[in-house]
């Protein structure tokens, strides 16, 4: 009887730990890990390096397309850079993105606004939704551009989605 109780308790602990693991894993989720999981762009290294690592492997450009990865530069305030996946193109200067580790460590955000605030309209300066203030971030972040998965560049339907 005691053995059966220990087995039941052990089984309950295992089940509870399975439910707890996703939260613990998400608490440490970085933007590059998340972007690799939800996009077809498979690069390694810090987010600041993705733009360079994509050269010769993926098409790159300044036009947002669904499924593309927006690559942010490394800066003093964001030394490792950042990457986010385009979820929807609203118009040429507004997109919705999915990303992790922006508003809070490990936090995944889906369908949040990113706005091109660059003078040239080339997505080199971007303001991104920041959950703690429930508004766009106060300062623009420097971006390199969009890395297109092979399926995005091959699809005429996705190319058309960039028009607002």
Q: What is the pLDDT of residues 107-129, one digit of tens each?
A: 999 999 999 999 999 999 999 99
What is the set of domains in the chain, with CATH numbers?
31-160 (3.90.1720.10)
Kindly report, residue by residue over 32-71, the tens digit of the pLDDT.
999 999 999 999 999 999 999 999 999 999 999 999 999 9
Both tokens of residue 83?
Answer: 């990457």
Q: Would the pLDDT of 158 be above 60?
A: no
Q: Would the pLDDT of 154 be above 60?
A: no
Higher model confidence: residue 25 or residue 113? 113
User: What span, in angstroms and rounded, lies between the C-alpha atoms of 94 and 26?
Assistant: 27
Residues 6 or more apart from 83 whose CB is under 8 A from it? Answer: 31, 32, 35, 47, 50, 69, 70, 71, 72, 99
Kindly report, residue by residue over 66-96, the tens digit of the pLDDT.
999 999 999 999 999 999 999 999 999 999 9
H or E segment to which residue 26 belongs: helix 2-27
Angle between helices 31-38 and 47-54 (to 10 degrees): 50
């Amino acid at each position: 009887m005691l053995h059966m109780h220990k087995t039941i308790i052990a089984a309950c602990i295992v089940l509870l730990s399975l439910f707890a693991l996703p939260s613990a894993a998400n608490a440490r989720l970085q933007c590059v890990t998340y972007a690799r999981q939800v996009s077809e762009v498979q690069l390694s290294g810090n987010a600041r390096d993705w733009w360079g690592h994509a050269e010769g492997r993926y098409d790159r450009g300044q036009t947002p397309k669904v499924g593309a990865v927006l690559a942010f530069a490394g800066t003093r305030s964001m030394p490792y850079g950042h990457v986010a996946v385009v979820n929807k193109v609203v118009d040429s200067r507004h997109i919705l993105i999915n990303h992790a580790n922006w508003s809070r460590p490990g936090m995944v955000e889906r369908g949040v606004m990113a706005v091109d605030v660059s003078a040239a309209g080339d997505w080199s300066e971007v303001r991104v939704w920041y959950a703690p203030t429930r508004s766009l971030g106060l300062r623009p972040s420097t971006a390199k551009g969009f890395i297109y998965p092979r399926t995005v560049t091959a699809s005429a339907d996705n190319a058309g989605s960039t028009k607002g």
